[in-house]
Amino acid sequence: MEFNAPAGRNLFDASKVVGKSTPRIDGPLKTTGQAPYAYERHDVVANQAYGYIVGSAIAKGRISAMDAEAARAAPGVIAVILATETKPVGKGMSNNAPLFGGSDIAHYHQAIACVVAETFEQARSAAALIRTSYDRSAGRFDFPKLAPDAPLAKDEEGKPDRQTVGDFDSAFAAAEVKIDATYTTPDESHAMMEPHATIAAWDGDKLTLWTSNQMINWGKESMGKILGMDPKNIRLDSPYIGGGFGGKLFIRADAVVAALAAKQAKRPVKIALQRPLMANNTTHRHATIQRLRIGAGRDGRITALAHENWSGNINGKEGENGTLQTPVLYAGANRLIANYIATLDLPEGNAMRAPGEAVGHLALEVAMDELAEKLAMDPIELRIRNEPKSTVPGKPEKRFSDRNLVRCLREGSTRVGWDRRKAKPGSVRDGQWLVGMGVAAGYRAAPANKSAARVRLDGNGGIIVETDMTDIGTGSYTIIAQTAAETLGVPLEKVKVTLGDSDHPAAAGSGGQWGAASSTAGVYAACVTLRQKIGQTLGFDGDKAEFAGGKIKANGKSFDLAEAGKLSVDGGIEFGKFKDDYDVGTYAAHFAEVAVNAYTGEARIRRMLAVCDAGRILNPLSARSQVIGAMVMAAGAAMMEELVVDTRFGFFVNHDLAGYEVPVHADIPAQEVVFLDTLDPIISPLKAKGVGELGICGVGAAIANAMYNATGVRVREYPITLDKYFERMPMLT
């Protein structure tokens, strides 16, 4: 099916299943410990051995010698593979650093060896016996020092990533009110609960990987490139993923080394990366330096807006584009957007939940708060006053598909009691606590990608859906089942969903906030194809029949779905070029109330509210879970999360969950999420957009603005930790 025109009225506008709050159908398996995660697939293949990866002890240089004799002689050891004895593997999609093989070291904890043994403990013990000598080289580890000389990044067309509209310099110079501020965000870890893990098994020249991967088809194609083999001979299976946040979008060393080790050991090998290697061996969110310059008239209307962003990466490409939201959120005739990227010898930076926008809002939305204060204007009013018309600023040919940001701001302000906020910082007290409120707008793009599924009738009136779409804790199983149940007119309990297997038709996968919109559209398209085949089997036009309650009404007759017997179809959806004329996005207004102890400086979030505009909400229950989870991550980014770089030796020091602080239950209050009753006919037949990344866009800025409103101390270096504001807090008597 090709989606080549805006969706009209369809069956989802009178839905009985889609759009209803539905407990996750995979919930009982997860809460009882029965959901099989990658490392726990004990029954998929016999005789599994344990692999343990050794990471490089230097960040830059070469291995001069490796001695593994003691390791090979250790009890239980089956095989030892060394990088120095292995030809470097190829690079798959977004592998910007070597995954295994050769003597060159590109970053700290790069995989240089793997010990395979009968037990995990034997493998770990033997790995400690490997002796490695290095020739260390000087490395580029200090991003803030390198950033000023960083060149412009390249856009998707290979051109310098600098865009201008109008004459920013002249407009900024002439502006009546100006903001010129620089904000910094640190490197961050995905810190998901489930480690990167893989079981690899060979059957002749065919390889199966039971792994934890968000993008099955990408992973299959990448493994083919990495190992130099036909992807048709590779199978990936990831039915359950214990968190990814972008860290499992691409093939990492666990999968590659498990495959190499299994071939050498001549038996299946399972590997889970130890926690320190998750920080330094895999990927992370890049640090940024962002400069915002905003010029406005006394009426608050923006006349000049510049957002420049610096980040770094191991290959001098693919940085953290903090400017992504800036061309879309606010009006203004004169604009400058630019991205610069430094080349670093730190572990590779890559996608982490809402890459670009998550950190970009931390700068832009705080700069808007600072502008509002200079104007003596309410921050919500400033945002509303700069709401674009019907097209993207500077692009009159590109319309907004559906945009309700102003409504989000207004409804949120009423619900949160914004009228009680005091504009003067530090003026609200609650005993020993200084109390402040903050607001921020949020934008995240809402793409939809080609997606397919197989839908089968089981002969008893039940539906089986098979697709390589993944569920990374987002609720994919449930919304896919809801879509099939709605389209084929059966109760939800009559639908069985199988996900994450590359033997199934390729879906869009989980990433970029496209998963829900894409996969449900693909399942809908496959179900429509099945309706047509059912009609052919029973003698009616499937497109005109009514499917409801497990029955079919057509041509004045009634049929049981079971009468069609066992049928199977593959189908999917592709998206037409008409969507290029639109900016399809999601929007939110985020509010936070923060209290700061006047004597100790302890900061506590008291209230959080998100009002979201994301089209039809397929399952409000799981959508809310997605948003509040994103809000928690945003709170972490704002107040505590930071991978600390040792600029002498080039590694992340706090590479475990003891040193890398993330929010816990005590840090987060009750959260409120409101979804607007909007539909977007441009996105897909279901008129639904993703929300999983919208929830992290703007929340941190709302918290930062609330901290300032509470204390009068503006911190522009994230995270906002005690050492950055305590000495500047007002003295109270």
Q: What is the set of active-site residues?
A: 693
Q: Give, in order, the Cα–Cα distances in Å from 265 to each of 46, 102, 122.
A: 14, 20, 15
Instruction: Return d(Cα 649, Cα 142) in angstroms, integer.
Output: 10
Maximum separation of any 2 CA atoms in the chain, in Å:
85
Sheet holding 433-445, edge to edge: 429-430, 433-445, 585-597, 603-613, 671-675
Return the percent helix, strand and coil in the chain, to nearest 5: 30, 30, 40
Instruction: Return d(Cα 195, Cα 251) in angstroms, integer.
Output: 13
* Cβ atoms of residues 650 and 60 within 8 Å: yes
Q: Count CA within 13 A, CB hemisphere, residue 39.
A: 15
Evaluated on CA atoms 377, 378, 383, 386, the torsion sign reads: negative
Phi/psi-derived region of residue 273, left when phi > 0, alpha when psi is between -120 and 50, beta in every other case: beta
Instruction: Return d(Cα 521, Cα 96) in angstroms, integer.
Output: 32
Read off φ and ψ for residue 440, nearest 5 degrees.
-155, 150
Return the ∠ at Cα 231 (arms to 225 and 232), rounded to 5°: 165
Helical pair 620-639 and 699-711, crossing angle rounded to 10 deg: 50
Token pair in block for residue 493:
């309990």
Instruction: Return d(Cα 422, Cα 437) in angstroms, integer.
Output: 8
Read off φ and ψ for residue 527, nearest 5 degrees.
-65, -35
What do you get for the CA distance between the two ends of the chain, in Å?
70
Q: How many CB atoms lie within 10 A of CB 164?
A: 14
Element (H, E) at 482: helix 476-488
Question: Letter for the amino acid at 156?
Answer: E
Secondary structure of 163-221 as H, E, C letters: EEECCHHHHHHHCCEEEEEEEEECEECCCCCCCCEEEEEEECCEEEEEECCCCHHHHHH
Spell out a b/e string for 628-651, using b for 16 or more CB atoms within 10 Å of the CB, else e.
Answer: bbbbbbbbbbbbbbbbebeeeebb
Q: Give, in order, the Cα–Cα distances in Å from 379 to each of 252, 357, 435, 705, 707.
A: 43, 20, 17, 10, 15
* Cβ atoms of residues 239 and 301 within 8 Å: no
Token pair in block for residue 198:
């893989």
Instruction: Return d(Cα 690, Cα 587) in angstroms, integer.
Output: 11
Return the ∠ at Cα 262 (arms to 99 and 68), rounded to 5°: 70
Instruction: Return d(Cα 136, Cα 229) in angstroms, integer.
Output: 34
Cis amide prior to 355 (ω within 30 degrees): no
Token pair in block for residue 335:
């604009």
- Residue 89 is given by DSSP the state P
Question: Letter for the amino acid at 163?
Answer: Q
Instruction: Return d(Cα 413, Cα 250) in angstroms, integer.
Output: 40
Q: Of 619, 658, 684, 380, which is closest to residue 476 (Cα–Cα)?
A: 619
Q: What is the dihedral of CA 665, 671, 676, 681, to 10 degrees?
A: -10
Instruction: Return d(Cα 182, Cα 370) in angstroms, integer.
Output: 12
